[in-house]
């Protein structure tokens, strides 16, 4: 049986059959704009050439008028041509002439100018010498004067043409600049449904009512129900807000307009408001329909906010959006969906009832939802037998849907790099380490002393985590440098936590302090490797004091968080809700909690120093160990 050519060979043959097709770099585009540029350059060169005196008549030497009268009196002039004050003529024979710059030149022709006081006897002398005379009226505008006027006009025309073509290439023609940039997706082209969105059951229930309204608006209008005008989806980036809007449009089988909040903004004031009007006009013509505005905080930010006043263009766009939301008629079935991860900075007028009536919070997926998301993203990927998606879901707390998709994609890249046809569990583990901790830093030469300190530092974290009763189980301990970290101790919770006990947080502080405690115990010093640990301890202990009321000194009191984000529109200085004396006591309490965490970690390591040494030795030998190996060493000591 003859061998079938592969796709690449077919494509190569197809290219060979098209001899006239350009297959290399992109052909240069010499349009009429380039021709106009060359024409302008030639005109400038022509102007320079004529101005230099070497133009049409530039070859005729200019002589003094007295020299002309002398040659005329001697009968050497054969003919003259008079135009205004200029005289051009020819000699009967070649003459040695004194030209205007003082040089002597042999010439057969000449040019000169009649003096301003005139020469009344000139015509009579020409008649006496039988000189042939021709005349021409003086031109009102000379060629260089016309060129001087037209060159700036041609220059501005050229600039205008180039500006127009640039806007046209970006689909922003001057006459289309106010048109909406919203992309319309027809119902028959929408293939995203709720079954393609894992988790988010509460969001689906909220949207189901709106979907039924869009499908059968008459049924709801008969009983006096009104369609909610606006729906705001709030959640961290990558949690599926845009995907939910597309799925809602697919379920409702209605036209779907999608646009980003930044697409309304333009350098021309008033363009954003015009685009809002154009978008709503288009949506009303094909109603029932859905308009989705992503990142609405870019135009919906609180008005009049910011240092030095507000932003006129953004505020006009927001005002137009507010008026359009109020302008719906009962028969216009148009729903506006918007997404943001910063609802705290939105204008209050945008969130009042009658505009964005409903708010759907889309949080990071929990373990069960992560499992369902992984199933969806694994549909088109070849997984090896033994890949446990449920285990992966448990080991990825805090991952968004976009993070999980990226995780499987990175795993497939690892498998392809190793020339495997299927994704193995080890590929997913490597991908998770890359996402959580960063790439391995190759080429780092760590000395034996530093490597030993690093091993004891991570062993301290791991041992405290393994001994304390309320800490999360250890997944992996490594001293391989990744990203900014020189080593990492990974802990993975057995199940999702929604409420954190005081005992859990105290154990967590002790685990974080385990690395610094090991340095103090073994080497009687402290290193810069605990910098990030100390920041985490300070942040968590302060939160326990200020927000959670988990101290005996202050009791059940919350002083308000100091971690509010500052943005233009709020005061640059945070308002303190307590006195300076209380602030001093808060600092003392934070120091007390941090010190107790360190002492607790160090005491734990002193009691289990033999296990600490074994874990450090194992890390020096393997560079990376699992949590089971740490538990095994600890269980062996207890059995002994």
Catalytic residues: 458
Q: What whole-number distance in Å separates Cα of residue 169 and Cα of residue 531?
A: 51
Q: Pick left, alpha or beta for residue 232 (phi over 0 → left; psi -120 to 50 → alpha; otherwise beta).
A: beta
Closest among 77, 78, 68 to 119, alpha carbons compared:
68
In three-state secondary structure terms, 358 is strand
Helical H runs in 294-346? 297-300, 312-326
The CA–CA distances, whole Å, from 122 to 64, 86, 475 equal 15, 13, 114
Cα separation, 537 vs 540, in Å, equals: 5
Whole-number Cα distances in Å, 422 to 149, 242, 370, 376: 73, 31, 21, 17
The contacts of residue 555 (CB under 8 Å, 6+ apart) are 549
DSSP state of 63: B
Crossing angle for the helix pair 531-546 and 580-607, nearest 10 degrees?
A: 130
Rg (CA), the chain: 42
Tokens of 280: 């709503």
CA-to-CA dists, residue 544 to 453, 510, 540, angstroms: 31, 14, 6
CB 497 within 8 A of CB 518: no
Long-range pairs for 419-424 at CB < 8 Å and ≥24 separation? 421/382, 422/382, 422/383, 422/384, 423/381, 423/382, 423/383, 423/384, 423/387, 424/384, 424/386, 424/387
Instruction: List C-alpha distances in Å: 283 to 242, 255, 482, 559.
Output: 18, 8, 50, 48
């Amino acid at each position: 049986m003859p061998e079938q050519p592969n796709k690449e060979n077919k494509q190569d043959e197809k290219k060979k059959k098209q001899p006239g097709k350009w297959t290399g770099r992109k052909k240069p585009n010499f349009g009429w704009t380039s021709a106009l540029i060359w024409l302008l350059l030639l005109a400038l060169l022509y102007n320079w050439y004529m101005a230099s005196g070497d133009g049409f008549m530039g070859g005729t030497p200019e002589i003094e008028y007295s020299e002309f009268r002398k040659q005329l009196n001697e009968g050497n002039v054969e003919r003259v041509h008079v135009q205004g004050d200029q005289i051009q003529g020819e000699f009967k024979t070649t003459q040695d002439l004194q030209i205007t710059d003082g040089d002597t030149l042999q010439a057969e022709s000449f040019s000169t100018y009649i003096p301003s006081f005139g020469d009344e006897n000139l015509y009579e002398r020409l008649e006496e010498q039988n000189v042939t005379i021709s005349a021409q009226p003086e031109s009102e505008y000379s060629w260089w004067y016309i060129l001087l006027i037209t060159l700036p006009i041609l220059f501005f025309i050229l600039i205008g043409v180039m500006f127009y073509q640039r806007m046209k290439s970006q689909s922003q023609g001057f006459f289309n600049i106010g048109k909406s940039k919203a992309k319309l997706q027809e119902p028959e082209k929408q293939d995203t449904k709720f079954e393609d969105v894992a988790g988010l059951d509460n969001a689906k229930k909220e949207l189901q009512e709106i979907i039924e309204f869009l499908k059968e608006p008459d049924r709801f209008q008969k009983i006096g129900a009104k369609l909610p005008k606006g729906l705001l989806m709030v959640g961290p980036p990558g949690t599926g807000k845009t995907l939910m809007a597309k799925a809602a449009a697919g379920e409702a089988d209605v036209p779907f307009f999608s646009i980003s909040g930044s697409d309304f903004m333009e350098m021309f004031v008033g363009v954003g408001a015009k685009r809002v009007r154009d978008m709503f006009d288009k949506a009303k013509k094909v109603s029932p329909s859905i308009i989705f505005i992503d990142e609405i905080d870019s135009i919906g930010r609180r008005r009049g906010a910011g240092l030095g006043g507000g932003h006129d263009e953004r505020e006009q766009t927001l005002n137009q959006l507010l008026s359009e939301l109020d302008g719906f008629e009962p028969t216009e079935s148009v729903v506006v969906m918007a997404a943001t991860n910063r609802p705290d900075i939105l204008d209050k007028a945008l969130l009042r009832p009658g505009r964005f009536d409903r708010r759907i919070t889309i949080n990071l997926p929990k373990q069960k939802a992560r499992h369902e998301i992984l199933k969806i993203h694994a549909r088109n990927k070849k997984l090896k037998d033994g890949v446990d998606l449920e285990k992966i879901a448990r080991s990825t707390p805090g991952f968004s849907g976009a993070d999980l998709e990226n995780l499987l994609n990175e795993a497939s890249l690892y498998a392809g790099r190793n020339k495997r046809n299927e994704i193995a569990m080890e590929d997913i583990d490597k991908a998770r380490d890359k996402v959580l901790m960063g790439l391995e830093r190759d080429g780092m030469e760590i000395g034996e002393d530093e490597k030993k300190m690093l091993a004891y530092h991570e062993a301290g974290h791991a041992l405290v985590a393994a001994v304390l009763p309320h800490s999360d189980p250890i997944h992996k301990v490594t001293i391989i440098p990744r990203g900014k970290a020189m080593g990492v101790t990974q802990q993975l919770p057995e199940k999702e936590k929604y409420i954190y006990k005081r005992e859990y947080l105290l154990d967590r502080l002790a685990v974080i302090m385990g690395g610094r405690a090991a340095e103090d115990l073994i080497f009687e010093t402290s290193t810069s490797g605990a910098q990030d640990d100390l920041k985490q301890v300070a942040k968590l202990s302060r939160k326990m004091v200020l927000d959670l009321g988990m101290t005996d000194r202050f009791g059940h009191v919350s002083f308000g968080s100091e971690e509010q984000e500052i943005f233009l529109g709020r005061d640059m200085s945070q308002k303190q809700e307590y006195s300076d004396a209380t602030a001093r006591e808060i600092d003392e309490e934070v120091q007390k909690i941090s010190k107790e965490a360190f002492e607790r970690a160090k005491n734990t390591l002193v009691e289990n120093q033999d296990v600490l040494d074994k874990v450090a030795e194992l890390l020096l030998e393997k560079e990376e160990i699992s949590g089971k190996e740490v538990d095994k060493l600890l269980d062996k000591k207890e059995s002994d």
